[in-house]
A and B are shown apart, each in its own frame.
Chain A
Amino acid sequence: MSNSWVEACAAGDVEEEDVIRFDHGGRTFAIYRSPDDEYFATDGLCTHEQVHLADGLVMDEIIECPKHNGRFNYKTGEAKGAPVCVNLKIYPVKVEAGKVFVQLS
């Protein structure tokens, strides 16, 4: 169970260069679709103040927290400057038969 793939959403549920929220097993995640049509997943809450990142703006490979504009590269999880200094946890993603799966650890 610990490394199982979980179906998060249909591929079409996320618009290009956008993000949606995905809750599973009492946790919350963010599923991204990049401008070049690849899918990514991270923890759902900003590392600064527990705000849902899915309400934030995706520009290219950056997700910006809707509250305090903390920025992360959602492909690598890297924090990109004030006020965030703790990186975001990322998860492997695969798309099969039009569904997005996330490998939760």
Chain B
Amino acid sequence: MLIIGAGECGARAALALRDGGYDGPVTLVGHEPHLPYERPPLSKDAMVSETEPGPKLVCEQQVFADRRIDCVTGARAISIDRATRSVALADGRTLTYDKLLLATGAMPRQLSLPGADGSRCAYLRTHDDALRIRGAVKPGSHIAILGGGFIGLEIAASARKRGADVTVIEALPRILTRGVPEEIARIIDARHRDEGVTLACGKGVSALRETTSTIEAALSDGSSVAADLLIIGIGAVPVTDLAQKAGLAIENGIAVDDRLRTSDPDIYAAGDCCSFPLAIYGGRRVRLECWRNAQDQGALAARNLLGAGDSTTAVPWFWSDQYDLTLQIAGLPDEGKRAVRRDLSESAFILFHLANDGRLVAASGIAQGNAVAKDIRLAEMLIARGAKPDPAALAQPQVKLKSLLAA
């Protein structure tokens, strides 16, 4: 069994192959110099911790050794030969496989402006990226962030904690347009402003100019922002070049079926790099860029590599931490036609998103700390079973969601 991509997904798949009783060779190939590590802390703890952190490993070297998982780090796969079932690495080695899993992940979308590859521009994907940004984020430094999505806003919160001046530039009229209801985005927006972040929404970057000591971004309204570092967080694109060169079907990522199989039955794909049909939304093809999906699909791919034939039934779920606020969303809110609000306290509420036929299709919550976690988790279970809960019950915090689950 060969796994290309040693992020959360690939590592989970390797471990799950052993959990599933597979006894043959397992090789996990990653191009980064580190063992598999968790990416969520990169925009948060890795930025604000007192001392420079090491990567938060998925598990220690010893665990991989004990489970006879061969972790090949610092190795880039350059081509797949499907006829001979082999993968060529950039260092000249060739690895053969019976079954292959592509867990190649995603990479930051590049800004296509002259100067965007300069030394005062940064993207965040890897631990090494995080350390580089961390080095520039300090009291009094000025950080500009292009993109009011999760990466940009989490870095903004971390940079404020470390005392940097922060400007966030977002081309669309509001932050978090993709996937977050406006009612919740407004709270996050207000909090960033309270914390001293300058939010410039509805403004694109038209040009970049680097001087010896700053980078200056010219904005579409004629103004400009000067900063020590410009962090570009404008989305991620799936890493598909290997699959594409091998002739596998691509459709907003490596196209897989509900069992995570690509167009070649011996090759599976999982995590950020693949698009798959989501059963709970009538087979709508989606690609998810979140930690839990990477874990779940890694484990599912491993079971199916071993012949289980299981379909993906997961409900999308993710969280974001900014300051002491935590946002959690289960399901895809854009599937909803109307929303019902449940206030848990003054600082915690959940929006339940209902389809026209009354099905609960998503739930978005925000709170200080984890106050919405229990209800979001229960909502996720309701979504998974296609429940049509009474909207009046959803709106009343004294009605336990667990009781709706039992209904």
Contacts and interface: CB of A to CB of B under 8 A. Distances in A.
Nearest to B59: A85
Interface residues of A, number: 14
A67 B299 contact: no
Contacts of B370: 51-52, 55-56, 66-67
Nearest to A52: B370
Interface stretch (B23-31, B236-244, B275-283, B373-381): B373-381
Given A55-B369, A67-B319, A83 B295 contact: yes
Interface in B371-389: 371, 373-374, 377-378
A95 B371 CA distance: 28
Contacts, number: 38
A78 to B, nearest CB: 15
Given A67-B319, A82-B15, A57 B371 contact: no
A69 B38 CA distance: 15
Interface in B306-338: 319
Nearest to A53: B370
B325 to A, nearest CB: 13
Contact of A57 (B12, B299, B378): B378
Interface string B1-43: 0000000000010010000000000000000000000100000
Interface of B: 12, 15, 38, 58-59, 63, 291-292, 295, 299, 319, 369-371, 373-374, 377-378, 402
14 contacts: A51-B370, A52-B369, A52-B370, A55-B369, A55-B370, A55-B373, A66-B373, A66-B377, A67-B370, A69-B292, A82-B12, A82-B295, A83-B58, A85-B63
